[in-house]
Each structure stands twice: as structure tokens, then as C-alpha cells.
Amino acid sequence: MQLFLYTMTTTIRRTLTRFHPRFVSSLVYMLQASEYEPERYSAWVRRTTDFRAVQKRGRLRYTPKALLLHTAAWAIVAAWIIAVTSFTLSLNAPLVLRMFALALSVAALPFALPQVMLAPLFLLRLAQAPIERRIIKKAQEKVRRSRAIKIAIAGSYGKTTMKEILRAVLSEGRRVGATPGNANTPIGISRFVETLAGDKDVLIFEFGEYYHGDINKLCALVKPDIGIITGVNEAHLERFKTIDRTTKTTFELAEYLGEKPLFVNGESPRAVSTAAARHTLYSRQGVGEWRVSGEVTGIEGTKFALSRGAHKIEMLSGLLGLHQIGPLAAAAALAFELGLSVTEIERGVRKTRAFEHRLEPRRDAGGVVTIDDTYNGNPDGARAAIEFLRCVDAKRRIYVTPGLVEMGERSAAVHQEIGRSLAQVADVVVLVRNSATPYIARGLTAADFKGQLLWYDDALEMYAALPMLTIAGDVVLLQNDWPDGYA
Amino acid sequence: MKYTEFTMKTIGVIFGGRSVEHDISIITGQFIIAALRAAPGFVPVPIYIARSGRWYSGESLADIVTFRRPDFEQHLESLRRPVIRTDGELSLSFPGLFGAGATRRIGVVFPALHGTNGEDGMLAGILSGAALPFVGCDITASAIAMDKALAKIVTERAGIPSTPYVFFTADEWAAERSRIEKEVALLRVPLFVKPVHLGSSIGITRIVAQTGLAQAVEVALHYDDKVIVEQGVPNVMEVNCAVLGNEEVRTSALEQPLAKAALLSFDDKYMRGGKGSKGGSGSMSGEKNSVKIPAPVDEKTAATIRELAVRAFRAIGGSGTARFDFLIDQESRSVYLNEINPLPGSLQQHLWKASGVSNIELVTTLIVLAEERFAEKNKRVTTFASSVLQQLG
């Protein structure tokens, strides 16, 4: 009885959240957070029951686009109310009946609005398309005239890390420009090109791929001289549908480059099996003819030597984990080919630090080390992070995660695998209750996990709880952080 | 309220109180609430005692921000008032539908009061009277610990060394001042003049000559009606040790509070490192900066301190937790018990954390200890069939 009442009131309360004034801004926020992709947005709307909880982690940022859509949304609401009011009032029926019809049609609006919102978005796109085309065209011209060496980085994961390592190393001897943040779409890259003054020796571009043909478009825009494929995995599978299509799209870069140099991550089985003999593989064993030796990793960083014949580079990096050896080695080899000296490369590598929220260590006053890997939400990254957790000295190893997103059908398998590999590494596993984490728990049980398993209802509750469960000497790994829009 | 809460244990966290340490108690209370929220299986219910002495409860009291609201006093009036019944229930009334109030029963009470009208045994008395299980020391242990003179007398009997002292009441100071001054003259300076009941260094004066006595006593009497004058320790180092348990007692690591002056002022103890202003989750950082863990003492001295802390805890009849503050003469290695805190600020969580006890383990262990003691007490016979009334002709 108690449960029945509870379920009833909850359902009613959740439905009523559609009538809250914030419902409108929540819809615009959902559009913005889905990068204005109708499919992702619609999927999110379908999943959502409590619209008050939508703007939990982030808030609507009032960019011109968001402001326009927000205004349009309220205009639709106003127009609808005026329309149905004047229509029902004009009807020739008893007043009670007319009022009832009016109430009904007004009440229907919040259920139609999420779909109706797509109309102004579509109109906006139509208006924006020619402007964006012009910007891209101009950028294409500018890049064609540039004498800089152009390096393109593609892959399902590790692109930003690769970009930042290259920037750090190459900056020791060359003037380097690189795409900022996650600007990796044709329009994002074009806007970056717009800002260039033409004084760079090397330009590094991060290529984003969401749909088939994306990489081809970017190659046509940038015309890269050198390519790097950082790996192919199940990231973005919800959009690509099949892993074969992901692989094919990523390797559009290889097709474009032809005989030009392409480095491929030798630790990504999908990438290796697709790579051709002329491509250079990089891994923790080495890159091309360069061999890795004496590798050590820990909270302080990673150390190894890279040698080829008489040349030896002492690599000392602030990046954590043995999986960083491959990208570091690739960057060093590439820099060597571009003519940087061993000393310059060593100096550049020493400047590499853990990036924000990517295996980034932090030690607090209470003697607890937190490794922030919240930006990392792909299976290969998670595997690397767990492997790193195994390597570190710790009183207890604590693994904290809400699970990974965009895993599509592979979600069960990916999360069970995480559970299984954690079972022998972690002393405490902290999970957020959602659709993915029960599979981690299942994996833990299957692999005979002897430690402590803790559950929290949402991520914010979990983060608040963390300082309460640690003791001096603990190492806490924070794996991935779900944006609003996944539950 | 979430559905799962029906199966969880409700813990009433009492904080605030009529004491100069009111604000520190709010911080301790917020810390306990946050720790219980993080622990599986508990629903903390905040119970706030205003400076007026009135009790309030409401979800908003589980957030430090509420206490900074400019309209805080008005806000309090909109909150529920908990009701204590004397048959083992602390219940909170809820204004329910159709005027039928619902009640929420508190399973275990977690006191977070510091200083007078709370930590001194008063709250323990109320809760014992209502037959409710509660965390921490009972009436007797709290009362002894919070009276510096009484604490010295009791622990001395158990063979725990403390520095020479003289104590007297306000009336005695007025009537027999010359006798007291003569007794004080036998102590070696520097001397510490303290109100017997207060913690947190309020009202304490360090004097280096007998001439300063009168003024120091006036200051102390401003806060309390009983004053203690203690002989200082030369080459002094302060070392604290916390304990956790009932019959079986475990000790924490040792910490050395790092104060610039020989005497910690209230601001030193609580405001430095942003402890007072940090708030929220019980000042995770900040206070770490003013202590050294482990304290720089040799193993033998450390073992002595641990042993003395456990012995003192038993001597006062302590239960749950307490912190014992020792003074060490670094030259002679002599150890003296200085003070007992039956409920240290934020439960001394940073020290426990450094000792391998997480915040969650700390609060849940204390709740288990409270339940154990309560069950133990209920086994005792409290009724006795007597024929006295019949025999009265």
C-alpha cells in the first residue's frame, strides 16, 4: 500500500514538472547539451520523467542561439494559448464545455512542445547554413596558402592527449598552433583557422567524427601532411551503430593520406587490423624502429628510454600510466623526423603534464590521492586507468564511477568487463545507481570481488560522500562523469 | 523522502545549544549529518537548539547555508518543533493531511553539542531520562570530563599524572581570597587561570607572576562560577589522543597542535585555516594545517600517552569517544593529562582519518557503540518488588 501510494504520487509529481515555467528553459538546455542534434535531444526527452531534474549538473548558457530558441519557445507557448483561447471562446457551446475544452488544449501543450521545439531549430539551421559554408570556404583557402606542416589527429579516444603531447614537444623547436578545446568539426576548425596569423611552422588539427564521411570532409578542408590515428573503439557507438562503420570513418584519414606518413596506435586491435604495412605503429614497445626500455609509472609520472641505433631519448613525463608511452614515443619520433634535437625533445616531453580531468593526480592535506579521470568515458581509457590503479602504491584502492555512456548494445559487455578487471585491483568500488552500473556489480561478483561495494543514488550525492569514506594513504580513481542527459 | 527511507535507521543529530561554542557545534553537527548521508542505511534528522534554548527540526537545517541567512530567526519559526516523550521516544511531529499529524521516530540520538548545557552531561541526562539510545559519554562521564577540577581529582585517583592546581568557587574567592592566594603562591609560574567548565580556550589567561592573578580570576569568573589555577609545564609540547569504544577501546594516532603562542586562543583553535568559515562538510582541510600527525614523540612516550588515554577514559566511565589532551615536558619526558573533551569538534575526524578510520566508519561505529551500551543498560534491573508501602501501618 505504501509502495503503491509512493509510486502514484511520484508519477503525478513528475508529470506536473512539465507545467513548471522552467520546463521551457529545460528543453532549450537539453537541445544545447545535445549539441543541437535532434536525435540525441529526442532520445533524452523520451528518457526523461522528471523535468525539474534536467538542469542538475549544468545550466542553460545564454548563447545567441540559445537565446533565440528560448524566445521562440515562449512565443510558441504564447501563440498556442492565444490561439486556443480565441478558438474555444468563439465556439457555440455551453460555457462549461468551452472552458473544459480550453483547459484540455492548454494542458496538452507541454506534451507537444518538445517536438514542436524542433521547428525553430530547423529554421535556424536553414538560415545559418550559407553563413557557415562561407566561413568554411574561406578557411579552406587560407589553409591551402599556408606553408605550415599540417598534422591531423583522428580516433575514437585519446585525440586531445595526443594533440597536447605534440604541442608540448614540437613547441621546443617550432612555432605550433593547435585547435582549441574540442573544436573538431568543420565549422569549429574553420573558426580556429580564422584566428591564425600565418606565422606557424606546424598546425595540429583534432578531427571529430560522429557520422560517416565526417573525416573526408575535414581532410578536404585541412589537407593534412601527416596523420595520427589514436585508436578505434566503441565510443560514440550510439551514433555510429556499428564498430565497422566507426573504423571505416576513422580510416578515411588513411585513404586521404595515401603514401604520406600515418602513425597508428598499435595497442588498438581494431586500428591495427585495419592499418596497412606502410603505416607506422606505435605502442609501449616502441614506434617504427625506436625501441622502449626501462619503463616505470606512478603517481609522480612516467619514465622510459627511447632508442634507435646510436640515438637515445630519455623520456620523463608527468603523464600517468604505461599506456601513455605509445603516444609519447610517437610524438618524439615525429619530432625527430621533423628535425628537432634529442635535447629539445627531452625538454618538451618533461613539460607534458596530466591534463585536466584526464588521469590527473591531486594529493589533499589528509593524505588522500585522488586521480581525476572524469573526462575519460571510453572502455580503452577505463582499462588503462584500472591498469594504472594496479600499478600505484596505496593503502586502499578506491574506484568511483557512474559507468560509461554511449555504449549502445555493448553496454552490458563493456561494464561487466570493467567489473571483472576491477575485482582483483580495487579494495572499494563506489557506483551510482543507473542503467549501466549493475553490470559492473555483476562483473565484480563473477570475478570473486572481496572488497567493499557502495551505491549512491546520484553522482552529486556520491561526490559529497567521497571525503567521508577515505582514509590517509588511499588512492581514489574517479572514472568518467555523466553529463545531464544520461541516466 | 525516498521510498528506501522506510527501511533505514533514523538518527537525530542534535547541535547548536546554549553555549559559547554554539557555532562550532553547528559545524560538528553538519559534519555528522554529511557523514551519515554518505553511509549506507541511515537517515540523519537535524535537530537544532537555538541560542534561546528552543529546539527545531527541518531539512533546511542540514545545510550550513541556512545558518548564514539574514532572515534566519524568522526562518526558524517556520520549522517544526521536536517533542521528547519520556517513554523512550524522541519524535518529530509533521503537519499532516486533514490535520492528522504524522510522527517520525528517532532511533538513535547523535549529540553534537559542545561546552555548557550539552556536552557537560545535560543532554545525556535528558536523553537517559527519555530512555533513548545516544552516542557518546553518559551524564557522569560528561560531567566529570567537563569540570576540570573534578576531572583532575578522578584521574589522579586512577594514577594519571596532572600538574599541581588550586580550584575555588566565586563565593570562596570573595570570602577567602588570601587563603587562595597563599595556596596559589606555592605553584610555580607560569600559571594558567581557567574557568573549570569551558572548553575551547575561552576565558583562559596565562600569567607569569602572582600579580596578574586577580585580573585573570575576574576574567574566568566572567564565564563560570568555578575557577582552576594550574601550574604550567616547562619545555612543553601539547599532544592529543582520541579514543573510540566502550569496554574495548581503540586509540587514534597522536597529533601535535601547532600554535604559535604557548596558549591556544579561541581564534587559533577554530578560526585559523578557515575552519570556522569553511563549514559545510565539516572542514575537511584547513585544520590539518595547524596540527602535526603523527606527533613528534618517541615510541615509548607515545605508548605511555595511549595507555594513559585509555586509563583516563575508563576512570571517568567514558563511552563512545573522547579526546585527551596531554602536556609533555620535552626535557624530562614527563607526561601530564591536561584536558578531556567528551565530544571533540567535528569528532576529531581528521585525526581518525589519519589513523585509518574513515568518517563513515567513525560515525557508524559510534552508533553501534551507542546501541550496545543501551542494550547493556536495559539488561540491568531497575525495578525491585518491595513491601515497604504495605508495611506502612
**Structural domains in chain A plus CATH codes:** 14-116 (no CATH), 140-350 (3.40.1190.10), 360-479 (3.90.190.20)
Q: How far apart are CA A17 and CA A246, in angstroms?
A: 38
Residues from chain B contacting residue A467 (CB–CB below 8 Å):
281, 284, 359
Contact criterion met (CB < 8 Å) for A2 and B289: no
- With beta carbons under 8 A apart, name residues in chain B contacting A3: 3
- Across the interface, do B289 and A471 touch by the CB < 8 Å criterion? no
Judge: A3–B354 Cβ closer than 8 Å, yes or no: no
Measured in angstroms, the CA of A67 and the nearest CA of chain B are apart by: 32
Pairing of strands A301-308, A311-317: antiparallel
Is the minimum CB–CB distance between B123 and chain A shorter than 8 Å?
no
Mutation for B interface: A468, A469, A470, most B CBs within 10 A: A468
**Residue B220 contacts A, CB cutoff 8 Å:** no
Of B37, B289, B355, the CB nearest to A365: B289
Query: What is the CATH topology of the domain spanning B236-378?
Result: D-amino Acid Aminotransferase; Chain A, domain 1 (3.30.470)
Distances (CA, A) of B211 to B163, B178, B196, B381: 21, 13, 21, 55
What pLDDT is attached to residue A379?
A: 85
**CATH class, B164-231 region:** alpha beta
Is the ipTM higher than 0.85? The answer is: no
Which A residues, 69 through 98, put their C-beta within 8 Å of a C-beta on chain B?
A: none
Q: Which residue in chain B is spatially nearest to A7 when comparing CA positions?
A: B3
Give the three cell numbers for residue A196.
Answer: 591564425
Q: Closest approach of chain A CAs to the CA of B185, in angstroms? A: 45
H or E element, residue A298: strand A290-298
CB-based contact A387:A323 (threshold 8 Å): yes
Q: Are B356 and A472 in contact (CB under 8 A)?
A: yes
Residue from B5, B281, B284 whose CB has the most chain A CBs within 10 Å, to mutate: B284
Asked if A135 contacts A187 with a C-beta cutoff of 8 angstroms, the reply is yes
Interface check for B97 against chain A (CB to CB < 8 A): the answer is: no
Kindly list the residues from chain B whose CB atom is less than 8 angstroms away from the CB atom of residue A454.
Answer: 40
Task: Identify all chain B residues contacting A430, using CB atoms and an 8 Å cutoff.
Answer: none
* Closest chain B residue by Cα to residue A468: B359
CA angle B143, B146, B152 (to 5 degrees): 95
* Residue A339, Ramachandran bin (φ over 0: left; ψ between -120 and 50: alpha; else beta): left
B34 with A464: Cβ contact below 8 A: yes
Chain A: give the shortest CA distance to residue B111, in Å.
Answer: 19
Q: What is the Cα–Cα distance from A157 to A324, expressed in whole angstroms? A: 13
The full set of domain ranges for chain B reads 3-137, 164-231, 236-378
In the sheet that holds A262-265, the strands lie side by side as A176-178, A202-206, A149-154, A226-229, A262-265, A280-283, A286-287, A290-298, A301-308, A311-317
Q: How far apart are CA A261 and CA A278, in angstroms?
A: 8
- A241-252 pLDDT, tens digit each: 788 888 999 999
B164-231 and B236-378 agree in CATH topology: no
Query: Which residue among B2, B40, B355 places its CB closest to the CB of A454?
Result: B40
CA distance A170 to A349: 9
All residues of chain A having their beta carbon less than 8 Å from the beta carbon of residue B2 are 457
Q: Is the minimum CB–CB distance between A277 and chain B shorter than 8 Å?
A: no
Architecture of domain B3-137: 3-Layer(aba) Sandwich (3.40)
Judged by CB atoms closer than 8 Å, whether chains meet at A471 and B40 is answered as no
The tens-digit pLDDT sequence of chain A (487 residues) is 566 777 788 788 888 888 888 888 889 998 888 878 888 888 888 878 788 777 776 788 888 888 999 999 999 999 999 998 888 888 888 888 888 888 888 888 888 899 888 998 899 889 888 998 999 999 999 988 889 999 999 998 889 899 999 999 999 989 999 999 778 888 889 999 999 888 899 999 999 887 788 899 999 999 999 999 999 987 666 667 788 888 999 999 999 999 999 999 999 999 999 999 999 999 999 999 999 999 999 999 999 999 999 999 999 999 999 999 999 999 999 999 999 999 999 999 999 999 888 899 999 888 999 999 988 778 888 999 999 999 998 999 999 999 987 777 788 999 999 999 999 999 999 999 988 999 999 999 999 999 999 999 888 889 989 999 999 999 999 998 766 655 4
Contacts across the A-B interface (CB distance below 8 Å): 58
Do the beta carbons of residue B259 and residue B354 sit within 8 Å? no
User: Is the separation of the CB atoms in A323 and A284 below 8 Å?
Assistant: yes
Interatomic CA distance for residues A426 and A413, integer angstroms: 19
Q: What is the pTM of this model?
A: 0.77
What are the two backbone dihedrals, phi and then psi, of residue B105, each rounded to the nearest 5 degrees?
-85, 140
